[in-house]
């Protein structure tokens, strides 16, 4: 009943005018009801029991193929044109419709279930002054509800009060935008005063006027009127449905939007329906087939007219012609009759079979253990089951960096302390030992405060520190002091760090484990536990990090009163500022740094300097003046910093590994071999991105040049792009060569394709966000595309989500190539949706990327299996299927065409009607499904061994319009054989007992048996991989054909259904004739042998890569997979400096506010829920698109 | 252990099926299979072809067109549609023994029994003896469903209506006198047609079943009087009717009329002169059709058919030629071995 009510409710709702403003009063249901706002029940299901059949059928008949068959069925009941019984179309149509209906019903039942589950969640609602448990669906706009910690937010709420000080609440918005860090919301003071006073809340009668329901997650405007006073409401005071309450004991909220009006539901609009290029091709082909069908029927209708006037009219004595039917009317009728007879040209089962095949191949992806990640227990998932074959055609991959290529984990890996390198293990002969999971770890258990997750392998370092080496101690002291990390010690000894960048977190954690534990900080002091002893340093200044300075320093006073400046930063920057006495040390450290950079580690150089008191006093004075200056404050500060950060003494260098996910470089190498281009689109800084480029082998030392586009004007960008292009190819024309073509249904779509240009040598391109913004403008787009496509590797850094999508669309538009986007975070959603195929990395931050993706798995390296194995097979199978399917249906149909010349163009079918009905549905359905689900040309290991096997897919080589035409020609040949050989063999002969054999029924049986056997052999020729299932399907179908035929032609069937089975006895009487079998044998071989010979000669003359690998596979065993050796690259003085840090919190660290936990408006994402400080590496730019600059509302 | 298993709840099953590792046979079109295959098939075809060709040659066929298009032909006068009960005689001679059993066919050309509406114009229910359909024949039979007085036609439909009604008598001329060659009309239709598909209503006498119905318009006798000599050969199970109702697939066809298996002619027709007496009733001139009689014997491969033998020979030779071509291609190009 509820469903019916809501259905009518929806009907009524539709008639209503669009809402212009929402107006509601708290605790006043009757007032709010006058507006008829939607309550909190949601309905994502499409049907109910009553509406299912009509609505589902209506939807299904909107499909072209289904509508066509309905039309055919209508034609068939018109006796004048009905050349086939109604069941020949009705049975397959019913079958198709019911399969789809069952699938739809199942989907909808699941939606009903999840709707019910959500709608029946319980929440505390304030009703009549009392808190009552209510179901979510019964919550009304204007109700006040109470939420508790870790509960889902019920509806879009205005926050009234909370348990936390200052009426704060913390929410996790992962379900909404994918960000896992906590966000802070704060109630108005007016409402916050009510606290959890039920009476006060029950008496609350504020009126809210606000915007109508919309889908903007980052914006809310409204006012609250209470007791004559009006307060402004913004996004900060609203809790959105889909969030989860965290770290907050309870809170009260006023329902503003319920159910379908909530921003979550408004956002879950229809996702764009992705279609594969094969789909588009198929539509075009089906259209062509329609045209072809019409012309064939026209031809036959004309033939009929001629025949009627020349022969039929003479023959009229014996023909049951109706009165008034002359040759022109008869030809008109025969046109429609032939439309019915030849309808198998447009195969209804095509669409269904394609769906089944895709579903099957999707299951194989879901089931693949080699794409299952045991650590997080996540299997791969094909979320969209209609895109499989496109996976075999990918030309461009757009990848996110953080969390996709990298694990988003920074580990302190190596360091160099006063010229001595630590972090590598050597055996007694002095050779480097590979560090694996089994390598013994350094035991930090002596240190009570050590982070148990920290792993280090080199025992010497700890020994050095424990021995009391002053350099080593200073090194870690620096790391413990020089940073802006916030400590969080909820329980004694359980220390968590909130780091602004994961690099910093890694460094501070390293210091912590080596005995220099950063414990707590105040604006003026830093408490460190040094080798078990608590030491409090006075913090005098923080010289913050920024992009230009590339370094940060702190000035501290030790308890002994010693003043020290600790500085860490990019090696090049630090080396410039060192005291000349460090020269020798610099040389040694430099070699270490080069090694680190070569391994793709992120490096920082550390230095310190002792200061004397008088200088410091004076400097501090000037610092104070500069920092309060009104003009040129930044410049003045910079100058001051510059002045103090010189003559530093080098301590050493750190190397932090931005841990790549397992197998990333190998995967990238494999994909590159498969001629897939990978572009990295990351929100990270240029240095970081470049660094990762090197460590995952995309940028290589042996590349001729790596272009960096970082101009800040449109002209600059253009110039840099053009210069790069000219360097790569001096002959490159100024104008790109664009091929304009038309494609798509009715050739309405215009396409422009920019052609690839020849380049010798490998190049890389790095472009930053600013330049990208210019480059994506209309006039520079093509310039960017041309240059980028000439490079082996493209890295775009500091990219916004929108730009990610734009880049994808640019390539999609001008390259006509299949694109794939892979990412893990909410910032990748736009690109995942824009690309032909979106892949989400699951099991990491948020689910947003996964939810909008088409395929998901846990590790980047599974991408190669998805593409090179599953994608390639899916594409191969789909193409084989289509070729075979068209061949089988064309051949079937063309035989009717030839017969028309012998039966007076009367639309007489060659085959038995039952055969026509069952041909696609039963006799040939399973074998071809078996082929297109199980076939593999070479197995997965060979696919990996030869990634080149992937390239035919990119070039559409397995199925295209050309292949379709070839298919038709082959069908034409086969159908000629299939008709004329039986014709010639039978037209003038008799059985071995002298009785009839050239009768219609025997001929039909002969023709259909030949057809079916030829189709089975043809299928066998196409099958490369004969599993038991294939054998069973092929032999089973043939056996089934004979069994069904003998049954249908049996006495019993005739006696029961007299008029339905007129072929009684035909099978018995003709299949015992030797000449019938000789004819079948001849026909089959004549159809097949030329194909075999042609294929054989083609393999000899022009073998494809598949043939070569298959040939190789037969001859030799698969070479054992060579273990990828991580080659140590020869590094030529490249700095490994990279830091995922934009602007430090220097100001915040020294600001009192921050430490009092008063929310900092500009950085609500500061507090994270994740327990590891390392897990936080939200690209900083993300906020720039989702949040409008907010007015400062701090109390 | 238990805990570990629970943690891996989502781990896919490790079966050959789910991991796509099903054991499989992976054949290839390699030279070692294709070339010998073609040779073997070629030789087999040539063998079969020779056998077929020889067999086909041993079959004797005698075709006599009696339409009477030219005025020199004996049946010319009968071909005029206005002549009723016309009988003409065709003389022919056989040089050597026409080995038995000899089958006597009538043939029609340019006759479209495979025309869709013609073929559909019948009522299988009526023909299986269902009396309900005697009173109201199926609509497919129109316009041979009811006669002008709205009486149901039994058997209804165009096929039955157009039943071939020429009759033949064959005489051997021995020293000027005619000796009737006995015809055997039993069992010339399919067993299934005679026993299952076509049945007379179980009414005795058969005539009563046909009360209130009329015979097809073109028929001279009602169905229950088709064979006055044999009461069991009447109604829907009359052999000639059954043969006619099994409609031909192609516009030129022949149908079995009688077998010559009895008496002096059991071994075949001896050499000599023969005379064929034809009761010429069936008009074919209007649509440029031809009527003929065919005398033929059969072998294990059925009637005479040169095509199959020749086709097997040609294709067998082509296969051999093809295998040589493929061998040359293979030897010359082989399989490029480079990666």
Q: Count CB-CB contacts under 10 A for residue A221.
A: 11
The pLDDT value given to residue A1176? 34
CA pair distance A796, A827, nearest whole angstrom: 14
- The DSSP H or E segment spanning A226 is strand A222-226
Mean pLDDT, residues A563-569: 92
Q: In chain B, what is the greatest distance between 2 CA atoms, to the nearest angstrom?
A: 110
Burial of A420 (0-12, 13-18, 19+ CB in 10 A): middle
The pLDDT value given to residue A353? 85
Structure-model confidence comparison of residues A565 and A264, the more confident one? A565
Which pLDDT band, with edges at 50, 70 and 90, does A272 fall under? low
Angle, CA B316 vertex, CA B310 and CA B320 arms, to 5°: 145
Name which of A319, A999, A1028 is nearest B117 (Cβ-Cβ): A319
Contact B326 A318 (CB under 8 A): no
In this predicted structure, which of A236-250, A867-881, A1090-1104 has the lowest mean pLDDT? A236-250
Counted residue by residue, chain B has a size of 339
Sign (positive or negative) of CA dihedral A86, A88, A90, A91: positive
The pLDDT value given to residue A1183? 28
Q: Count CB-CB contacts under 10 A for residue B336.
A: 13
pTM of the model: 0.83
Selected residue of B6, B53, B117, B306 to mutate for chain A interface (largest A Cβ count, 10 A): B117
Name which of A908, A1095, A1107 is nearest B119 (Cβ-Cβ): A908
Contact B303 A990 (CB under 8 A): yes
Cβ contacts of B157 on chain A, cutoff 8 Å: 320
A300 to chain B nearest CA, in Å? 14
Q: C-alpha distances in angstroms, A340 versus A72, A73, A229, A904, B161?
A: 6, 9, 76, 17, 28
pLDDT tens digits for range A6-30 = 444 444 444 456 778 888 888 888 8
Integer Rg of chain B from CA: 30
CA pair distance A371, A373, nearest whole angstrom: 6
Which of the residues of A are catalytic? 400
B176 to chain A nearest CA, in Å? 31
A866 to chain B nearest CA, in Å? 13
Mean pLDDT, residues A83-87: 81
Which pLDDT band, with edges at 50, 70 and 90, does A419 fall under? confident
pLDDT higher than threshold 50 for residue A1079: yes
CA pair distance A232, A66, nearest whole angstrom: 55
Q: Above pLDDT 70, what percent of chain A?
A: 89
Q: What single string gives the DSSP state of each residue in A719-750?
A: HHHHHHHHHH-TT--SS--EEEEEESGGG-EE
Cβ contacts of B312 on chain A, cutoff 8 Å: 1078, 1082
pLDDT tens digits for range A837-876 = 999 988 665 566 787 788 999 899 999 999 999 999 999 9
Name which of A985, A1085, A1099 is nearest B307 (Cβ-Cβ): A985
State whether residue A1034 is helix, strand or coil.
Answer: helix
Nearest residue of chain A to residue B104 (CA atoms): A994
Which pLDDT band, with edges at 50, 70 and 90, does A1163 fall under? very low
Cβ contacts of A1099 on chain B, cutoff 8 Å: 29, 335
Cβ contacts of B305 on chain A, cutoff 8 Å: 985, 988-989, 1075
Picking from A885, A1087, A875, the residue whose alpha carbon sits closest to that of residue A968 is A885
Q: In chain A, what is the greatest distance between 2 CA atoms, to the nearest angstrom?
A: 130
pLDDT higher than threshold 60 for residue A1126: no
Q: Which two tokens stand for residue B191?
A: 């067993």
Establish if B6 touches chain A: CB-CB under 8 angstroms: no
The pLDDT value given to residue B206? 87
State whether residue B309 is helix, strand or coil.
Answer: helix
pLDDT higher than threshold 50 for residue A1114: yes
Burial of B310 (0-12, 13-18, 19+ CB in 10 A): middle
pLDDT tens digits for range A676-732 = 999 998 877 788 788 888 888 888 878 888 888 888 888 899 888 888 888 888 777
The pLDDT value given to residue A490? 67
pLDDT tens digits for range A326-380 = 778 888 988 999 999 998 888 777 887 888 899 899 999 999 999 999 888 889 9
Name which of B243, B287, B300 is nearest A314 (Cβ-Cβ): B287
Q: C-alpha distances in angstroms, B209 versus A453, A976, B146?
A: 100, 48, 17
pLDDT tens digits for range A982-1002 = 999 998 888 888 888 889 999
Query: Domain boundaries in chain B?
Result: 34-59+299-334, 63-298
CA pair distance A153, A161, nearest whole angstrom: 14
Q: A993, B299 in Cβ contact below 8 A?
A: no
Token pair 């991105």 in the structure block, residue:
A689
The pLDDT value given to residue A1157? 39
B300 to chain A nearest CA, in Å? 6
CA pair distance A318, A333, nearest whole angstrom: 20
Provide the β-strand partners of residue A840: A823, A856
Picking from B291, B267, B234, the residue whose alpha carbon sits closest to that of residue B68 is B291
Q: A25, A254 in Cβ contact below 8 A?
A: no
A343 to chain B nearest CA, in Å? 17
The pLDDT value given to residue A268? 61
Residue numbers in chain B where pLDDT is lower than 50: 1-5, 339
The pLDDT value given to residue A892? 94
Q: What single string gives the DSSP state of each residue in A116-178?
A: HHHHT-EEEEEETTEEEEEEGGG--TT-EEEEETTPBP-SEEEEEEESSGGGEEEEE-HHHH-
Establish if B148 touches chain A: CB-CB under 8 angstroms: no
Establish if B145 touches chain A: CB-CB under 8 angstroms: no
pLDDT higher than threshold 60 for residue A84: yes
- The DSSP H or E segment spanning A420 is strand A420-422
Establish if B64 touches chain A: CB-CB under 8 angstroms: no
Nearest residue of chain A to residue B242 (CA atoms): A996
Q: Ramachandran region of residue A231, left (φ > 0), alpha (ψ -120 to 50) or beta?
A: beta
Angle, CA A1160 vertex, CA A148 and CA A804 arms, to 5°: 90
A486 to chain B nearest CA, in Å? 34
Establish if B266 touches chain A: CB-CB under 8 angstroms: no
Structure-model confidence comparison of residues A74 and A802, the more confident one? A74
Establish if B3 touches chain A: CB-CB under 8 angstroms: no
A891 to chain B nearest CA, in Å? 20
Q: C-alpha distances in angstroms, A100 versus A103, A555, A824?
A: 5, 72, 33
Mean pLDDT, residues A1074-1093: 94
Contact A996 B246 (CB under 8 A): yes
Which pLDDT band, with edges at 50, 70 and 90, does A1020 fall under? very high
CA pair distance A258, A268, nearest whole angstrom: 15
Contact B301 A337 (CB under 8 A): no
Name which of B28, B286, B304 is nearest A317 (Cβ-Cβ): B286
Nearest residue of chain A to residue B248 (CA atoms): A999
State whether residue A410 is helix, strand or coil.
Answer: strand
The pLDDT value given to residue A1058? 83
Nearest residue of chain B to residue A309 (CA atoms): B287
Establish if B253 touches chain A: CB-CB under 8 angstroms: yes
Q: C-alpha distances in angstroms, A130 versus A139, A162, A916?
A: 15, 18, 71
CA pair distance B320, B147, nearest whole angstrom: 63
Structure-model confidence comparison of residues A45 and A576, the more confident one? A576
Contact A906 B117 (CB under 8 A): yes
Q: What single string gives the DSSP state of each residue in A780-825?
A: HHHHHHHHHHHSSEEEEES--HHHHHHHHHHHHHHH--EEEEEE-S
A1076 to chain B nearest CA, in Å? 9
Structure-model confidence comparison of residues A824 and A481, the more confident one? A481
Task: Kindly report the three-state secondary structure assignment for every residue of B24-67.
Answer: EECCCCCHHHHHHHHHHHHHHHHHHHHHHHHHHHHCCEEEEECC
**Eight-state DSSP code of residue B144:** S
Please provide the distance, in angstroms rounded to a whole number, between the alpha carbons at the two ends of chain B.
Answer: 48
Picking from A826, A766, A770, the residue whose alpha carbon sits closest to that of residue A796 is A766
The pLDDT value given to residue A12? 44
The pLDDT value given to residue A16? 52
A:B CB pairs within 8 Å: 291
Q: Which two tokens stand for residue A42?
A: 């949601």
CA pair distance B124, B245, nearest whole angstrom: 11
Residues 6+ apart with CB under 8 A from B338: none
Q: Which two tokens stand for residue A233?
A: 């409401």
**Cα A312 from chain centre:** 64
Contact A1095 B29 (CB under 8 A): yes
- The DSSP H or E segment spanning A551 is strand A551-557
Establish if B143 touches chain A: CB-CB under 8 angstroms: yes
The pLDDT value given to residue A1120? 62
Cβ contacts of B113 on chain A, cutoff 8 Å: 1000
Mean residue pLDDT of chain A comes to 83
State the virtual CA torsion across B229, B233, B234, B238 in degrees, nearest 10. Answer: -130
State whether residue A305 is helix, strand or coil.
Answer: helix
Task: Kindly report the three-state secondary structure assignment for every residue of A628-676.
Answer: HCCCCHHHHHHHHHHHHCCCEEEEEEEEEEEEECCCHHHHHHHHHHCCC
Q: Which two tokens stand for residue A1021?
A: 């020729």
pLDDT tens digits for range A676-687 = 999 998 877 788
CA pair distance B222, B209, nearest whole angstrom: 12
Cβ contacts of A1004 on chain B, cutoff 8 Å: 249
pLDDT higher than threshold 50 for residue A1178: no
The pLDDT value given to residue A1082? 95
Helix (H), strand (E) counts: chain A: 43, 38
Sign (positive or negative) of CA dihedral A534, A539, A545, A551: negative
Q: Tell me the helix, strand and coil percentages in chain A, rounded to 5.
A: 50, 20, 35
Which pLDDT band, with edges at 50, 70 and 90, does A536 fall under? very high
CA pair distance A553, A648, nearest whole angstrom: 11
Q: Which residues of A47-80 are buried (b: 16+ CB within 10 A; e: fewer)?
A: bbeeeeeeebeeebbeeebbebbbebbebbeeee
Q: Count CB-CB contacts under 10 A for residue A503.
A: 24
Q: A1066, A1002 in Cβ contact below 8 A?
A: yes
Cβ contacts of B322 on chain A, cutoff 8 Å: 1089, 1093
CA pair distance B273, A10, nearest whole angstrom: 96
Establish if B26 touches chain A: CB-CB under 8 angstroms: yes
Q: A622, A640 in Cβ contact below 8 A?
A: yes
């Amino acid at each position: 009943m509820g469903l019916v009510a809501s259905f009518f409710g929806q009907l009524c709702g539709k008639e209503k005018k669009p809402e212009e403003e929402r107006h509601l009063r708290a605790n006043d249901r009757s007032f709010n009801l006058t507006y008829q706002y939607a309550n909190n029940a949601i309905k994502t299901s499409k049907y109910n029991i009553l509406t299912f059949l009509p609505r589902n059928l209506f939807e299904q008949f909107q499909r072209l193929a289904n509508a066509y068959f309905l039309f055919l069925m209508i034609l068939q009941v018109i006796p004048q044109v009905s050349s086939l019984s109604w069941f020949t179309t009705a049975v397959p149509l019913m079958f198709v419709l019911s399969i789809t209906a069952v699938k739809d019903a199942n989907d909808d039942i699941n939606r009903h279930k999840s709707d019910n589950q959500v709608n029946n969640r319980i929440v505390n609602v304030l009703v009549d002054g009392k808190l009552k448990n209510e179901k979510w669906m019964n919550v009304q706009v204007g109700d006040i509800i109470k939420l508790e910690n870790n509960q889902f937010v019920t509806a879009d709420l205005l926050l009234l009060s909370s348990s936390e000080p200052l009426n704060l609440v913390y929410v996790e918005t992962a379900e909404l935008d994918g960000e896992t860090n906590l966000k802070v919301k704060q109630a108005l003071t007016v409402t916050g005063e009510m606290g959890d006073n039920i009476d006060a809340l029950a008496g609350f009668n504020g009126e809210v006027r606000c915007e109508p329901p919309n889908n903007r997650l980052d914006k809310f405007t409204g006012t609250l009127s209470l007791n004559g006073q009006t307060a402004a409401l913004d996004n900060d005071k609203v809790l959105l449905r889909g969030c989860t309450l965290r770290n907050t004991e309870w809170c009260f909220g006023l329902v503003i939007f319920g159910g379908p009006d909530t921003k979550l539901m408004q956002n879950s609009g229809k996702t764009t329906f992705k279609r594969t290029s094969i789909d588009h091709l198929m539509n075009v082909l089906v259209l062509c087939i329609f045209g072809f069908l019409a012309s064939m029927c026209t031809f036959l209708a004309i033939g009929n007219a001629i025949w009627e006037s020349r022969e039929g009219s003479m023959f009229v004595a014996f023909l049951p012609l109706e009165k008034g039917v002359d040759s022109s009317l008869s030809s008109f009728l025969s046109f429609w009759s032939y439309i019915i007879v030849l309808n198998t040209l447009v195969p209804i089962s095509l669409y269904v079979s394609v769906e089944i095949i895709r579903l099957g191949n999707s299951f194989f992806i879901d089931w693949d253990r080699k794409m299952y990640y045991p650590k997080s227990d996540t299997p791969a998932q094909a979320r969209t089951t209609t895109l499989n074959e496109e996976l075999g055609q990918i030309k461009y991959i757009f990848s996110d960096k953080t969390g996709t290529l990298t694990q988003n984990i920074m580990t302190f890996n190596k360091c160099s302390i006063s010229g001595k390198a630590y972090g590598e293990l050597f055996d007694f002969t002095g050779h480097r030992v590979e560090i694996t999971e089994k390598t013994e770890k350094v035991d930090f258990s002596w240190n009570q405060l050590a982070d148990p997750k920290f792993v280090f392998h080199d025992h010497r370092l700890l020994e050095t520190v424990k021995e009391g080496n002053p350099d080593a101690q200073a090194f870690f002291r620096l790391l413990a002091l020089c940073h802006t990390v916030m400590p969080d010690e909820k329980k004694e000894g359980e220390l968590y760090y909130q780091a602004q960048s994961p690099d910093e977190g890694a460094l501070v954690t390293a210091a912590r484990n080596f005995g220099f534990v950063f414990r707590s900080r105040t604006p003026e002091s830093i408490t460190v536990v040094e080798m078990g002893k608590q030491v409090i340093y006075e913090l005098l200044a923080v010289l913050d990090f920024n992009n230009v300075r590339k370094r940060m320093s702190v000035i501290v006073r030790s308890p002994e009163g010693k003043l020290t400046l600790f500085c860490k930063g990019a090696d090049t920057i630090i080396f410039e500022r060192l005291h000349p006495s460090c020269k020798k040390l610099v040389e040694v450290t430099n070699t270490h740094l080069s090694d680190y950079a070569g391994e793709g580690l992120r490096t920082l150089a550390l230095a310190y300097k002792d200061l004397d008191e008088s200088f410091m006093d004076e400097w501090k004075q000037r610092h104070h003046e500069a920092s309060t200056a009104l003009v040129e404050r930044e410049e003045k500060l910079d100058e001051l910093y510059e002045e103090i950060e010189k003559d530093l003494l080098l301590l050493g260098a750190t190397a932090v590994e931005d841990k790549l996910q397992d197998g990333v470089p190998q995967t990238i190498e494999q994909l590159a071999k498969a001629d897939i281009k990978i572009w990295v689109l990351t929100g990270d800084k240029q240095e970081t991105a470049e660094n990762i480029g090197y460590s995952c082998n995309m940028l290589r030392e042996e590349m001729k040049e790596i272009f960096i586009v970082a101009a800040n004007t449109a002209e600059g960008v253009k110039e840099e792009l053009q210069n790069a292009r000219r360097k790569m190819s001096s002959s490159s024309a100024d104008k790109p060569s664009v091929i304009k073509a038309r494609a798509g249904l009715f050739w309405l779509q215009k396409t422009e394709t920019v052609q690839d240009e020849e380049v010798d040598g490998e190049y890389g391109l790095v472009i930053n966000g600013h330049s990208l913004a210019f480059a994506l403008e209309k006039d520079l787009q093509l310039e960017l595309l041309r240059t980028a496509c000439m490079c082996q590797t493209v890295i775009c850094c500091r990219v916004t989500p929108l730009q990610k999508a734009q880049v994808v669309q640019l390539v999609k538009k001008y390259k006509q190539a299949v694109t794939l986007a892979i990412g893990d975070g909410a910032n990748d959603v736009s690109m995942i949706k824009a690309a032909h195929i979106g892949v989400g990395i699951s099991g990491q931050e948020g689910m947003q990327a996964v939810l909008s993706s088409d395929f998901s798995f846990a590790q980047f390296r599974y991408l190669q299996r998805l593409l090179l194995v599953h994608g390639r097979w899916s594409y191969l199978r789909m193409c084989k299927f289509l070729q075979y399917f068209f061949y089988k249906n064309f051949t079937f149909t063309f035989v009717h065409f030839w017969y028309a010349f012998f039966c007076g163009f009367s639309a007489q079918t060659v085959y038995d009607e039952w055969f026509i009905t069952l041909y696609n549905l039963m006799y040939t359905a399973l074998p071809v499904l078996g082929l297109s689900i199980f076939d593999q040309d070479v197995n997965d290991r060979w696919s990996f061994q030869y990634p080149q096997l992937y390239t035919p897919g990119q070039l559409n080589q397995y199925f295209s319009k050309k292949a379709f035409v070839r298919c038709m020609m082959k069908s034409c040949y086969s159908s000629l054989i299939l008709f004329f050989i039986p014709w010639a063999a039978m037209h003038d002969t008799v059985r071995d007992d002298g009785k009839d054999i050239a009768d219609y029924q025997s001929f039909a049986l002969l023709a259909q048996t030949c057809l079916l056997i030829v189709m089975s052999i043809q299928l066998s020729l196409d099958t490369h991989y004969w599993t038991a299932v294939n054998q069973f399907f092929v032999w089973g179908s043939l056996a089934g054909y004979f069994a069904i035929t003998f049954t249908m032609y049996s006495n019993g069937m005739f006696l029961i259904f007299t008029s339905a089975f007129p072929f009684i006895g035909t099978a018995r009487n003709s299949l015992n004739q030797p000449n019938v079998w000789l004819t079948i044998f001849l026909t089959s071989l004549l159809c097949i042998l030329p194909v075999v010979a042609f294929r054989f000669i083609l393999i000899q003359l022009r073998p494809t890569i598949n043939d070569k690998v298959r040939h190789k596979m037969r001859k030799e065993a698969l070479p054992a997979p060579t273990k990828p050796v991580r080659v140590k690259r020869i590094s030529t003085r490249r700095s490994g400096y990279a830091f995922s840090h934009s602007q430090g919190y220097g100001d915040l660290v020294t600001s009192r506010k921050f430490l009092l936990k008063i929310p900092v408006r500009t950085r609500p994402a500061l507090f994270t829920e994740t327990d590891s400080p390392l897990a936080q590496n939200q690209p900083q730019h993300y906020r720039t698109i989702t949040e409008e600059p907010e007015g400062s509302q701090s109390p | 252990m238990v805990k570990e298993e629970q943690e891996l709840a989502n781990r896919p099953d490790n079966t050959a099926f789910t991991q796509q590792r099903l054991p499989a046979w992976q054949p290839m079109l390699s030279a070692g299979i294709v070339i010998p295959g073609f040779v073997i098939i070629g030789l087999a075809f040539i063998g079969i072809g020779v056998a077929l060709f020889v067999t086909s040659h041993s079959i004797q066929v005698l075709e006599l067109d009696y339409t009477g298009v030219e005025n020199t032909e004996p049946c010319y006068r009968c071909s005029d549609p206005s002549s009723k009960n016309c009988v003409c005689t065709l003389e022919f001679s056989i040089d050597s023994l026409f080995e038995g059993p000899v089958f006597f066919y009538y043939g029609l050309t340019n006759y479209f029994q495979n025309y869709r509406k013609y073929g559909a114009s019948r009522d299988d229910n009526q023909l299986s003896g269902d009396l309900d359909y005697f009173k109201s024949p199926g609509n497919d039979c129109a316009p041979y469903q009811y006669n002008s007085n709205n009486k149901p036609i039994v058997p209804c439909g165009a096929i039955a209506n157009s039943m071939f009604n020429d009759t033949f008598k064959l005489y051997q001329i021995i020293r000027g006198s005619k000796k009737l060659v006995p015809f055997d009309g039993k069992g010339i239709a399919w067993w299934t047609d005679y026993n299952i598909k076509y049945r007379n209503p179980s009414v005795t006498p058969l005539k009563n079943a046909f009360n209130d119905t009329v015979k097809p318009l073109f028929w001279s006798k009602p169905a229950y009087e088709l064979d006055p000599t044999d009461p069991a050969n009447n109604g829907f199970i009359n052999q000639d009717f059954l043969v006619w109702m099994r409609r031909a697939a192609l516009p030129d066809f022949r149908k079995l009329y009688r077998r010559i298996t009895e008496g002096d002619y059991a071994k075949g027709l001896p050499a000599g002169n023969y005379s064929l007496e034809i009761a010429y009733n069936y008009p074919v001139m209007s649509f440029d059709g031809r009527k003929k009689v065919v005398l033929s014997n059969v072998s294990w491969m059925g009637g005479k058919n040169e095509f199959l033998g020749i086709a097997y020979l040609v294709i067998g030779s082509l296969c051999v030629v093809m295998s040589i071509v493929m061998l040359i291609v293979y030897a010359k190009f082989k399989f490029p071995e480079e990666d």
